[in-house]
Amino acid sequence: MVDNDGANTYSRIIAIQNEVLADIRFFPNPARDVLQLQIPSARKDQAIITITDASGRTLKQTSYNLGEGNNAISLPVLSYPAGNYYLVIKTAAGQQSKMFVKQ
């Protein structure tokens, strides 16, 4: 950073650990009856999974206990009409949204 008088100063560098919801996978997309999720977790955690329609209306919200490692979750979608939907996964590490298509 350069000050008004032309002097330079530097901030100290701080290392941070940023846990993110990485590598969440779901299939098949488009889905017909069941959407399969794979959610990796570095530790035991709780995930709140919400399915919303294209207008933002919540259709389903469920809480799951995640174990350390890869977690497989099956979400039934057979009763939803064909269209675009959003899957929102929220844990202590953060929140991630994904779009899926229901055939």
pLDDT higher than threshold 90 for residue 57: yes
Token pair of 65 as six digits: 């206990």
pTM of the model: 0.77
Averaged pLDDT for residues 14-32: 77
17 band by pLDDT with thresholds 50, 70 and 90: low
- Rounded distance between C-alpha atoms, residue 11 and residue 2, angstroms: 12
Identify the pLDDT of residue 21: 61
**Strand bridging mode 25-27 / 94-102:** unpaired
* Domains and their CATH numbers in the chain: 25-102 (2.60.40.2550)
Among the listed residues 29, 32, 20, 23, the one whose alpha carbon sits nearest the alpha carbon of residue 79: 32
7 band by pLDDT with thresholds 50, 70 and 90: confident
* Residue predicted with more confidence, 2 or 64: 64
Averaged pLDDT for residues 48-74: 96
